[in-house]
Amino acid sequence: MQMELIIETRRAAVEAIAARKDIGGMKALAGLLWPRDSVDQAYTRLVNQLREDRREVLSAHTWDHIRQIGREHGCDICQHFDTD
């Protein structure tokens, strides 16, 4: 799988990290973010925070955690993502 060269949204950046073979997808990433929740609850929480039409937002703490997980798995794609 070839990774996009240009990441234009937070969702695309998170999906790029989740797509790493050693992470295993969005559900697995959500499980790493919120290990106390069930995988399904964590996944729903993550997806809702990435949807633009929802009131839930991705917190700075969660974004930093996603970036950390990405770095730990050799994916620094978020460092190039412009949040402005």
For 5-23, the pLDDT digits (tens) are 567 788 888 998 999 989 9
Task: Find all residues with CB under 8 Å of 73, minimum gap 6, and list them.
Answer: 17, 20, 22, 23
For residue 5, the SS3 value is: coil
CB of 33 closer than 8 Å to CB of 42: yes
Residue 81 is predicted with a pLDDT of 62
Span 24-80, pLDDT tens digits? 999 999 999 999 999 999 999 999 999 888 878 888 899 999 999 998 988 887 776
CB of 17 closer than 8 Å to CB of 64: no
Whole-angstrom distance, CA of residue 4 vs CA of residue 40? 27
Q: Which two tokens stand for residue 2?
A: 């070839």
More confident residue, 81 or 53: 53
Residue 82 has pLDDT above 60, yes or no: no
Helix pair 10-18, 39-50: axis angle to 10 deg: 150
What's the pTM value of the predicted model, to 2 decimals? Answer: 0.82
Residue 48 is predicted with a pLDDT of 93
